[in-house]
Copies of this chain bind each other. A is one copy, B any other.
């Protein structure tokens, strides 16, 4: 089945909301209410949820527990993903400690840097290796996902080394650089500066005219 990217993104939101509702002991909720809480149209919520089968009850709404399980299964993973983080600067370290990257669905198994003061040490409980050893280590540790937090000018080189391992299938990049990868490697980019520029652009527009 084909699912649009925005739908997956919203599914993550539904999942979070449902987890919270569940804790609060809420039993039933309507698409209307979900929409209000998340800033979405009710029809959008219904369409998203209907892609994966009929899960609500007509005339009633969605059973919170049941829907939570359902969305959880949609987003579930066949195994525990093994992740490597490349670039232990401040952003890298911040992500290492970040709550959203602590999960039982995936774990950071190794970090990589070029700094001799870091290589060979444990950082946040994770062993640090030299970037040059990526092909070897990634293969040994069966790491399929890379989180990239290196400066832009080092990004392509780092990616090349990671891809050379032959085991990496996905990259989450925080580097503001276009990356060239083989067609079977999936890249998602988080571009902080671009997000800020977008925000400023639309603020500017709404100042002058609208």
Measured CB to CB, the residues of A under 8 A from B are 3, 5, 8-9, 12-13, 16-17, 37-39, 75, 77-78, 81, 89-91, 93-95, 97-101, 105-106, 144-145, 147, 151, 169-170, 172, 176-178, 180, 186, 188, 190-204, 206-208
- Given the interface contacts A106-B200, A192-B101, does A176 sit within 8 Å of B16 by beta carbon? yes
Asked if A204 and B13 make an inter-chain contact with CB atoms under 8 angstroms apart, the answer reads no
Asked if A93 and B95 make an inter-chain contact with CB atoms under 8 angstroms apart, the answer reads no
A9–B193 CA distance with the chains assembled, in angstroms = 10
Asked if B203 and A169 make an inter-chain contact with CB atoms under 8 angstroms apart, the answer reads yes
This chain's copy number in the assembly: 2
Asked if A178 and B100 make an inter-chain contact with CB atoms under 8 angstroms apart, the answer reads no
Asked if B200 and A105 make an inter-chain contact with CB atoms under 8 angstroms apart, the answer reads yes
Residues of B contacting A203 with CB < 8 Å?
A: 81, 144-145, 169-170, 186
Residues of B contacting A78 with CB < 8 Å?
A: 204, 207-208
Asked if B94 and A17 make an inter-chain contact with CB atoms under 8 angstroms apart, the answer reads no
Residues of B contacting A99 with CB < 8 Å?
A: 151
A178–B170 CA distance with the chains assembled, in angstroms = 27
Asked if A198 and B193 make an inter-chain contact with CB atoms under 8 angstroms apart, the answer reads no
